[in-house]
Every structure is written in C-alpha cells, then in structure tokens.
Structure 1
Amino acid sequence: MKQASMTQSLRMTAIAMSIALAGCAFAPPAKPPTPPAPKSYAADPTPASSSQADGVAQRFSLGARAVPDWWRLYQSDTLNAWVAEGLQNNPSLDAAKHSLEAAHQLLRAQIGESMLPSLDAGGQATRQRALGLPSFGPPTNLYNVYAGQLQLGYNFDLFGATRHSVEQATAQVDQQSYELDAARRTLAANIVIVAINAAALAEQVSTSERLSALAHEQAELTERANRLGAASHDEVLAAQQNAATLDTSLPPLRTQAQRARHTLAVLMGRTPDQAPSNLTLSQLHLPADVPLSIPSELLQQRPDVLAAEAVVHAASAQVGVATANLFPHISLSASLGSAAFRRAALFTGAGSIWSAGVSLTQPIFHGGALLAQRKAAVASYDAALAQYRQTVLHAFEDVADSLTALNQDALTLQSAQAAATAAQESFKNTDARYRLGSAAYPTTVLGEQRWQNAKLSEIQARAARLADTAALFQAMGMAPAEAKGAAQGTR
C-alpha cells in the first residue's frame, strides 16, 4: 500500500515537472483562435441598397463604423426621451450595474489579499489562573499577561497560481462589463421595437374597428336587400358571419396593443398604469443610411462576442491555476511584538518577542484530485472555445437575417403600398360615382372595405421595416472605441 502511494506521488511529480521542463505554458492561449471571416454576411452578396419603398431606398455602407446612439436616426424626440428614460430607470439594468461594481470591488479585494503582503496588528490582555507544581510553590498561580505584536505574511507566487487566479477574476469582470453593455444596447433596441409595435398595433386596431363598422353596415344593407328580394338569405348570413368574425378579431388585437404599451412602460422603469401614449408610424423616419461593418470588424464590436472571448480568457487562467497547484507553495511569515506580565514592562527590551519563518508545501498525494482538477479546467477551456465559435456564428447569423429581412421588407412594403394606393383610388372613384348616382352604395362600402384591408397590410409592412432596421443596428454592436471603454470603464 505504501509502495503504491509512493508510486502515485512520484508519477504526479513527474507529470508536473514534465510540464515545466517541456517548456509548455501553464495556461493555454488566453485569446481564442481567429475565427473565419466570411466574404459576405448572407448567402447572397450584400446589395448596395434596398429596393425603394415609401420614398426611401436604404443604403448599406459596407465598412462604415457602427452608430452608438442609432435610435436617434429615427428623428423622434419622443422616442429618444423614452430610450434615455429606460437606460436611466430600468431596474434590471440598474441591478446589472451594481453587480458589476460588486465584482469589480471583489477583484480589488482579491488583488490586495493575494498579491500584496499582509500586515496585521494585535493586542492581548488576559488574567489567568494556573495550577502550580505539586512539589513546591503555591498550589495555584494567578497572573496577568499583556502582549502586542505586528504580524507580516506574504505568499511567493513562483508558479503563477495567484497571478492566474487574479487574471481569471479580471477576465470575469470584463465578461460582466461586456454583458452589461449588451444588456444596455438590448434594452434600447427593445424600447424602439416595442414602441414601433405599439404604434402599429394601435393603427391596426383603429383600422380593424373601421372594418368591423363597415362589415356591420354591409350586413344591414344585405338584410335590406333580402327584404326587397334582391339578396338571398344565404348572402345575409354570410355578411353577418363576416361582421362577427371581424368582431372576434378585435379583442385579441386590443389586448396585444395594451400589452405592448405595458411592456414599454416596464422597459422604461414605469408601472403599467403610467404607460406613455402611442407614437404614430408617421412620426418615425426610416434611417436611409445603414452602416455595415465588415465581418472581421464585427467581432470587435459585438458585446456578446467580446463577453465570450472574456470567458475563454477566464477559462485559460483557470487552467493556469490548476497547473500551478501541482507545484510547491512558498510563504513567508514574521511577527514582532512585546509581551509581559505587567503593563509597565510592556514594550521594553526584556519583553520583546519575534518570529520569522518560511514554509514550503509540495503536493505529493491527493488521490488524483489535483490532476483531475487540471483536466476539468482544460475541458472547461475547450468548452469555452466551442461556445465562442458558436457565439461568432450567431453574430454573423443575426446580421445576415436582418439584412435579408430588410431587403424583403422593402419589397413587401412596396407591394403593400401599391395595393393600398390602388384600393384607395378605386374607392374614391366608386364613391364619386355613388355621389353622382351612377353607383350603388353597397358597392362603395365594399370598395372601402378593400381599401381598409390593404391599409392593414401596409401598416404591418411599414412597422416590420422600421423594426428590422432597429434589429440590424443592434446586430452591428458598438463602435470600437465604445467597446474598449466597456472593458476599461470599470477598471
């Protein structure tokens, strides 16, 4: 049994020494390998501009810098104020800020405790009663002890265990910093997108209510025609069914509209009863110039990618800690003080006490725990690398999807506007003929119904284009200087 234990300890020492003698770094590379840079984001090459719709053909400026406060490009002072209020008052964002500050202070504490010498002062005053020796002297001894001393301690970080531990904590603070910035930008994007959706839903409710009123009017006209023998009973039932179907669609639509307002209020840090009034889609101007960073630069702008890179750095440092734990630990301790049985003799030459020492600890046998911890750290590092690669792919996917959506949104809005314009002109012509007595009123009602239905599609298409533009700005991340400040702002 003793021989097996000695063999195991020698094997562990040999493995540890082979790591050092082979010239291998205690920790793998802190920076992940350079990921592939695609030539274009989407499967199809990025166009110079989108199709023109609503009088705007968006230009995609490849190689341009990301816009920090991109929501200002919508040219709405109200929207700008909402985003500013949300960034100031959102409780979740505020909690993330305080959590980051706590992590930063814990890092400072770790640096102070592990990398710098420690110096403590202590004092003692006791009164003791002890048994005397049985052969002579009094049966008990009663005396006072006074002592005061300074204690100094320092751990020599010969193999980098402390340095790698601090490096790991620093990388974790960087990760939280980037995650805070990602949360801040996501909050801004959510406020913009929810505001757009709330405006669109309010307009859809208004249009749907008009459609419902027209459907009921159409049902009444059909019922009158039935009484005159100009319409069948089945036509009456069909008109009534159409009106009831439209009525059924209104409550869920109103619910969605109210929920959007409530969500917007909460994002801004308000209670739902203080939800702001809706904007109108006409108050929001579609940004005509949309900057597109080249794929290789995108990775230095996305907070989620930078956070994933910080996770790799932290995992690398953890491997360094686990490796250094296989090697000796050396610490220095010293104390200087004075002790006496009388207060008057305290801090005199006769009562001076001191000690100094160096301790060395070399792990020999821990049941394979230290090697298992190192293997676990290496596996965690490999997992962090894989997660980094996945985050990079998602970043490219976000931009590709947003670009594709914008291209299609322009075509959809173009078609929806053409249909709405044609339906409106048809309704105007029919209404004019009705006023001249050359068209029946039911025909006018039917024409307005077609127009209002076309307006619904136009509202949805315009809102989708506005929201997908916000999604693309969000997918671009932050400007390089802004990204650098996110990591250094809490140092």
Structure 2
Amino acid sequence: MKSHALAINRQTFKTTFGAAAVLVFLTACTVGPDYQMPAPSQSQHYDQQAEQRLGQRGNKQIDLGQKVRGDWWTAFRSQKLDTVVRRAIAGNLELVAADATIRQAASSVTAAEGALYPQVDFGAQAGRQRVHNAKEPAVSNFYAIGPRVGFDLDAFGGNKRLVEQQEAFADLQKHRYEAAYLTLTGNVASQALLVASANAQMQAVEKLLANDAKNLDLVRMAHANGSTTQIDVSLAETRLAQDRTLLPPLAQQRDSARHALSILTGKGPGDWIAPDFDLAEFVLPANVPVSLPSEMAHDRPDVRQAEAELHMASAAVGVATANLYPHVTLSASLAQAASGNGGAALWGFAAGLAGPIFDGGTLKAERQAAIDGYNATLAGYQQTVISSFGQVADTLQAINHDAEENLAQEDALRAAETSLRLNQQAYAQGENSILQVLEAERAYQQALLGRIRIKTAQYLDTVRLYMALGGNSVGAFEQRVATREAQNPAYQ
C-alpha cells in the first residue's frame, strides 16, 4: 500500500509541476531591447587622393574593393618568413593564454545557461529527537530523504539576457584572440624585415669602409710622395673612424629584431635563434587588395571587439529591465520520511512571486545607468570604426609617399654614384683634392643607405596596410581549434 501511495504522489507531483511550468512558459516574455547590429558605414573611400594615385594603371599598387584572401604574409614570397610566422602561431604564449580565456568564457556561457533549467538536488536528514509535551516523553529516531526541485521561470527573460551577455562576452574573447593573432603575424613580419634591412645596411657600410680604407691608403701614398699634406691624411682617417661607428647600431637593430622573433615564437633568445633574412628574398606585393570601408569594419578584430561590447551593453539593459518585474519561482520536493516506527511519502509543491515595491529608485537608476552605458559603448564603437578608416587612410598615403621617395632616392643614388666615379678619376689624375672625393663618397653612402631604408619603409608600410585591413584574422581561432582536433582527436 505504501508503494502504491508513493507512486500516486509522485505522479501527482509531476503533473502539477509540469502543468505550472508549461503555463508560465507560454506566458513568459523577454523584456529589454533585442540587439541589432549597427548599420554598416556608408563611406566608400578612405582617402580618394591616395586611392587614385595608387590605383592608376601602369603603377597600380592597390586593388580597391577586394578582400584579403589567405595568409597575407605569403604575398611577400619569403619561405623563411612563412616558416617563422607559422612557428609563432603555434608557440606564441599570448595566443595560448587567449585560447584558454576563450574556453573559460565558453564555460561561463554554459554555467549561465544552467539557470534556464530546473535545479534538482538531493537532500537527506537524519537525527534523534525527544518529545517532552507528550503524556509520556519519548525518544525516537527520524529521517527524511528525497529530491528537491527549484525553478526560476524567468517570466521576463532576465536569465536569458544574462546568457546573451555571456555569449557576447565569449564572442569578445574570440575577437581578442583574433587581435592578438593579427598583431603577432604583423610583428613577426616587421621584425623579419628589420633583420633583413639591418643586414643590407651593414653590407653597404662594410663596402663603404672598404672604400674608406682604400682611399686612406691612396692619401698616405700621396703624402709619402709629397703631393698632399698631413691634413688630408687626417681627414681620411677621420672619415674611416666615423663610418665605423655606423656598424654597431645596425648590429644592435639586427640582434634586437632576432631576439624579438624568438620571443614571439614562445622561446627565449638562447633557446631558438631566428634565421637571417635577406632583403632581396622579399618581393614587394603588387595590387594589395583593399576592401571597401563598409566591408572592412567586419574584418578588423578591434571593430568586432567593439561590436561584442555593444552587444553586452544591450543585454545589460535587458537584465536591468527584467529586474523591474516580479520573479516567479516554482519549487517542489518529494521525500520518504519516517519518525519512530512510522513512515510516509511526503511531497510538496509551491509557487513564489517576489517583486519590487519600493527600493528608493535603485532599480530604475540601474536601468538608466545600463542605457547610458549602452549609448557610451555605441559611441565608442562608432569611434573605433572611424579610427580604423583613418588608420587605413594614413597607411595608404604612407605607401603613396614611399613610392615618390623611392623614385627620388633612385635618382639620388645614380647621381651620387656618377659623382663618386668622376671625382675618383679626377683625383687619380691630380685634378681635384681628397676632400672632394670624400664628400662624393659621403653623398654616395647616404644615397645607398637611403635606398635601403626607403625600401624597408615600403615593406613595413605594406605590412601595416595588411594589418589595418584586418589581415586574415577573422576565423583564426576556429582554425586553431581545427588544427588542434586534427592533431589530438581527444579534444573533439
């Protein structure tokens, strides 16, 4: 009989609880604003002057309206660079930390979603009691054991908005990973180019030092023959000593860049040494794809971060709005209890309603604060978009001016080379002084180093353009997950 009664009580409990839950689900609503993605920018240009000059036929350097496809750094056609970048993506510790943060955020979403479901736990109690007010005081044992269920019906969607907020936060962490990925790949490319530039400049300086030493020998021979003075010898020695000072800073630039590459790959400079790069192994990309402003905003991690923050702010308004309304909860319990020599199956069902009546304006103020926070975040998002346009415009103009400077530098180098050759010939024939030769050498040195520096600037500004456009960072985390699962199926 007891088992039959217990079965009936359980059935009644399930029916009552289920009917109440369905009733409230049907009447539930989610208050607060539904997030709407900001409208895309109507801008069609970054800097029309730079776009026109860089897009001219015969000297076309950008392809406006096209998106970056694939791994952007491969456009420089350096196998060494590609190898080091991939090594950095696999081993960089900032990406490892960002990866773990994303998984932490995903767990937070799952935890928040738990509030949308009934909370079932198990309770047990046992003890010994004595009854004093009975005719004959008695001592007996008692116990109660059984499940308990509690459910916040979320009638106005506050919990749903919290889940939405956590999901937006998880998206934010993914975009932060994309930003770290973009920064990493850009830094690796930049440091590799700095190594190559330093090596090229050091080679040029070493040739210059060889010429200085040769000129010093000529001056000393002329002085021994009585055709020049000690002053000329001193000037040649001074010029050689001055030019030697150019090497240590370039060597420091090379070594610092190589150390930076080691750190970017997750290794100490003593544990892994980056390869030497030669400027000649790089190819300056032609026709760099430049997406339109309306599309570029969806390719930049910082803009996507700002959008995720805007989504979080929108959900916060929903949470604050739901707090203005009552909370409806259901609770139920089913237990087998006994005291003394008797026992019974006990069940209970309760519905609770709690809502604010007077709180001194706290909840309304919190909702208004959430609305103001959303408006501030919206302005920040818009500012991020505008700033991204400005960054692309600045980089386009930099590439434009780099091209102009490169042409001027090539002319200067040819002129300096011709002047140096003529002055050396004239000095050998006794038609001019060593001072004229030294000045011609100085002009040639400056032109030669200037050409290397402007070539480096062209490469670095092209890297900055790829970064300003977002590179191929969108989906970088999904690629990492796919690679990890392919290498270790246990993660699936």
Shorter-chain TM-score tier = 0.7 to 0.9
CA contact (8 A) 2:262 2:274 kept: yes
1:151 partner SS = strand
Separation (CA, whole Å) in 1 of partners of 2:55 and 2:459: 13
CA contact (8 A) 2:195 2:257 kept: yes
Which deviates more from structure 2 when the two are superposed, residues 221-230 or residues 25-34? Answer: 221-230
Structure 1 residues 222 and 36, CA gap change in structure 2 (3 angstroms): same
* Matching residue of 2:154: 157
Separation (CA, whole Å) in 2 of partners of 1:236 and 1:329: 95
Aligned residue pairs total 451
Structure 1 residues 384 and 146, CA gap change in structure 2 (3 angstroms): same
How far off its partner does 1:220 sit?
A: 6.4
The match for 1:319 among 314, 317, 320 is 317
1:300 partner SS = coil
Correspondence 1:151-300 to 2 at 5 A? 151-212=148-209, 214-215=211-212, 218=215, 238-273=235-270, 274-300=272-298
2:39 partner SS = coil
* RMSD between aligned residues: 3.4
CA contact (8 A) 1:57 1:288 kept: no
Q: Deviations over 1:59-86 (max 9, x none)?
A: 3211112223111111111111111111
Separation (CA, whole Å) in 2 of partners of 1:393 and 1:68: 26
* Matching residue of 1:103: 105
Q: Deviations over 1:11-31 (max 9, x none)?
A: xxxxxxxxxxxxxx9434623
Separation (CA, whole Å) in 2 of partners of 1:137 and 1:215: 120
How far off its partner does 1:479 sit?
A: 6.5
Separation (CA, whole Å) in 2 of partners of 1:28 and 1:132: 58
Which residues of structure 2 form unaligned runs of 5+?
A: 1-29, 483-492
Is residue 2:444 matched to residue 1:451? yes
Separation (CA, whole Å) in 2 of partners of 1:484 and 1:131: 65
Structure 1 residues 378 and 441, CA gap change in structure 2 (3 angstroms): same
Structure 1 residues 132 and 155, CA gap change in structure 2 (3 angstroms): closer
How far off its partner does 1:186 sit?
A: 1.8
Residue 46 of structure 1 aligns with an amino acid whose one-letter code is: E
Structure 1 residues 237 and 389, CA gap change in structure 2 (3 angstroms): farther
2:351 partner SS = strand
Structure 1 residues 356 and 134, CA gap change in structure 2 (3 angstroms): closer
Separation (CA, whole Å) in 1 of partners of 2:401 and 2:170: 41
* Matching residue of 1:301: 299
Residue 36 of structure 2 aligns with an amino acid whose one-letter code is: K
Is residue 2:76 matched to residue 1:74? yes
Residue 104 of structure 2 aligns with an amino acid whose one-letter code is: A
Residue 68 of structure 2 aligns with an amino acid whose one-letter code is: A
Is residue 2:379 matched to residue 1:386? yes
How far off its partner does 1:402 sit?
A: 1.3
Is residue 2:362 matched to residue 1:369? yes
Separation (CA, whole Å) in 1 of partners of 2:39 and 2:232: 68
* Matching residue of 2:118: 117
Structure 1 residues 30 and 237, CA gap change in structure 2 (3 angstroms): farther
Residue 339 of structure 1 aligns with an amino acid whose one-letter code is: A
The match for 1:352 among 345, 352, 370 is 345
How far off its partner does 1:333 sit?
A: 0.6
Structure 1 residues 93 and 132, CA gap change in structure 2 (3 angstroms): same
Residue 423 of structure 1 aligns with an amino acid whose one-letter code is: A
Residue 414 of structure 1 aligns with an amino acid whose one-letter code is: L
State the identity as a percent. 33
Separation (CA, whole Å) in 2 of partners of 1:355 and 1:39: 66
Q: TM-score, structure 1 length as denominator?
A: 0.81
Q: Deviations over 1:310-365 (max 9, x none)?
A: 111110110111111011111111111212247x97xxxx4211111111111122
Which deviates more from structure 2 when the two are superposed, residues 296-305 or residues 248-257? Answer: 248-257
Separation (CA, whole Å) in 1 of partners of 2:219 and 2:357: 96
CA contact (8 A) 1:424 1:451 kept: yes
* Matching residue of 1:133: 132
Structure 1 residues 38 and 225, CA gap change in structure 2 (3 angstroms): farther
CA contact (8 A) 1:303 1:478 kept: no
Separation (CA, whole Å) in 1 of partners of 2:452 and 2:367: 58
Correspondence 1:3-152 to 2 at 5 A? 26-28=31-33, 30-31=35-36, 33-34=38-39, 36-42=41-47, 44=49, 46-47=51-52, 49=54, 57-111=59-113, 113-124=114-125, 126-128=126-128, 130=129, 132-133=131-132, 137-138=136-137, 141=139, 143-152=140-149
Residue 52 of structure 2 aligns with an amino acid whose one-letter code is: P
Which residues of structure 1 form unaligned runs of 5+?
A: 1-24
Separation (CA, whole Å) in 1 of partners of 2:252 and 2:69: 35
Separation (CA, whole Å) in 2 of partners of 1:45 and 1:433: 45
